[in-house]
Structure 1
Amino acid sequence: MSRIILFNKPFQVLSQFTDSEGRGTLADYIDDKNFYAAGRLDYDSEGLLLLTDDGTLQRRIADPRFKLEKTYWAQVEGEITDAALQQLRQGVKLKDGLTRPAKAERLEAPDIWPRNPPIRQRANQPTSWIEMRISEGRNRQVRRMTAAVGFPTLRLIRYAIGNWTLQDLAPGQYRMDEVHLPVSPAPNPRRRRR
């Protein structure tokens, strides 16, 4: 049985325990240095970050072959259109290639904590929220996808990884859990069986 920490990473906190530039790190919130982040969450993104004390489990959570779906809530500039949502659902052409199709839906503004500092918002420009679920982990992927369809992300919160969710964790709070996961990847449907 492995231990796992579900942490609500605040805005402008690094997904690591040290930083030479004096920025906020995991060490400001978590005392046990035997845990390591399973994946990453950008400095300017908020929400669920998983940490574990088991190296095999850490690799399994971060490995795209296991296809742990990640759920994001994105506040975007403008009123998201049906056409933009459809583009996200079909996959978006980025500089590093076509993304896998996302599950993308409009989202009522979630009842969540205020961000400090607040987002930059123009007085004459509305914003809207979308929920995106992806099974890839490209660098800044959600932000790049929403920008590519004409709706730049202003605020990004990762709500879930697989079945793990924030479940009322305030920014900077965490809870401990125990987990037993298989260590072999999900079968690749593209591989031929002999």
Structure 2
Amino acid sequence: MEVSKSEHRHFVIYKPYGYLSQFKSHDSKQQSKKFLGGLHGFPEGIMAIGRLDEKSEGLLLLTTDGKMSDFVNSQKVEKEYYAQVDGIITDEAINLLRAGVEIGFDGKKYQTRPCKASKLNEIPDLPKRSQKIRDDKHGPTSWVSITLNEGKFRQVRKMTSAVGFPTLRLVRVRVGDILINTMQTGEVVEVDQLLL
């Protein structure tokens, strides 16, 4: 899908750890929280396409085009995540992730759809996180790539937990054909169009 710049504005950002995927507080309880509006002077009508929870980081697309947002969220566009998990993930756990696992969602049980999952043989080259991950002296960790066509709240975290390997760090690295590449934490890039 392609949208011209003259109609709308689009941004690709690296959402930092500890930020909410919204632009300002809607609630007095959120006064101490960090918002995307603090990263850049975004235009009126801007919206995040999909969300990353406060403790997740990485690629987030922003647009003033509601149709583009609906398209990306319609499960037609793949989203790839790198998750650092507690322990050395097993082939059995990877196979379970691929097949789909049962997680809790909105107080009900939900079976995730089959997805792509694989263990990463090398630690990905990502920016350091503002809050340190626990030390290896507390036990080994490993990295897994998970690619979804759906996006329930905290889904990747719930999936890795369901197979016995809780997520310690979660970074979205791809949405459709848009990659995070060498973007740094908090970086904001305005693009003419979002080619997905």
User: Which band: TM-score by shorter chain?
Assistant: 0.7 to 0.9
Query: For the Cα contact (< 8 Å) 1:70–1:158, is it kept in 2?
Result: yes
Structure 2 matches for 1:61-100, cutoff 5 A?
61-64=72-75, 67-95=76-104, 96-100=109-113
3-state SS of 1:138 partner = coil
Q: Does 1:17 align with 2:26?
A: no
Q: Which residue of 2 aligns with 1:3?
A: 9
- The equivalences for 1:1-194 within 5 A come to 1=4, 2-19=8-25, 20-34=30-44, 35-64=46-75, 67-95=76-104, 96-107=109-120, 108-121=122-135, 123-179=137-193
Which moved further from structure 2: 20-29 or 158-167? Answer: 20-29
Q: Which runs of 5+ in 1 are unaligned?
A: 183-194
Further displaced range: 102-111 or 27-36? 27-36
Superposed structure 1 runs of 4+ greater than 3 Å apart:
none
Question: Residues 93-140 of structure 1, C-alpha deviation per residue, up to 9 Å, x if partnerless?
Answer: 123321011211111101111111111346141000001101111110
Identical counterparts, % of pairs: 42
| Separation of aligned partners in 1, 2:23 and 2:181 | 24
3-state SS in 1 of match to 2:61: strand
Contact 1:57 1:181 in 2 (8 A): no
Number of aligned positions between the proteins: 180
Q: Secondary structure, in 3 states, of the residue corresponding to 1:179?
A: coil
Superposed CA RMSD in Å reads 1.6
Residue segments in structure 2 that go unaligned for 5+ positions in a row? none
TM-score, normalised to structure 1's length?
A: 0.87
The amino acid of 1:106's aligned partner reads K
Please identify, of 142-151 and 25-34, the stretch whose mean Cα deviation from structure 2 is larger. Answer: 25-34
